[in-house]
Amino acid sequence: MALKVGDKVPHFTAKDTNGNLFDSTSILEKKPVVIYFYPKDDTRVCTEQACSFRDSYQEFTDLGAEVIGVSGDSTSSHQKFAQKHQLPFTLLSDHDKKLRNLFGVPTALFGLIPGRVTYVIDEKGIIKLIFDNLSGKIHIEKALQMVKKLV
């Protein structure tokens, strides 16, 4: 069942950009968190979205929030993607779709493409915003508006 606004995000783990095990308890319930799911590294819209989060990353951290990107790509793909575009935030590899299933991220375009959904989670681990839209750049604007409301 899909997580919805008002739900507490359950504990999860995944491999990060460097192949290390990321544990959600290291960040959830400590600060606001923006978790965005995107279809694929180094595709046009996904790159625009990642670079927009990169360009606004300082605004998020100034507000005390963290940004995490999630896709089904491998850690080595994430490493190349992050280095190529100088992404300052963590990317998580969800090759087994465990996180997509946990959050209930839908697929797009008749089930052909993994969905593009952004979650804004408050410092208590509660989902405050779910934004589902194929357009990449608008996710940053919506997430930043919500984080500003939280702090």
Report how far residue 72's alpha carbon sits from residue 54's, in angstroms, rounded to the nearest whole number.
Answer: 20
Tell me which of 14, 27, 34, 46 is the catalytic residue.
46
46 part of the active site: yes
Helix (H), strand (E) at residue 128: strand 127-132
Query: Pairing mode, if any, of strands 90-93 and 66-71?
Result: parallel
For the beta sheet containing 66-71, the strands, ordered from the edge strand earlier in sequence to the opposite edge, are 21-23, 13-16, 90-93, 66-71, 33-37, 117-121, 127-132
Q: DSSP class of residue 106?
A: P
Catalytic residues: 46
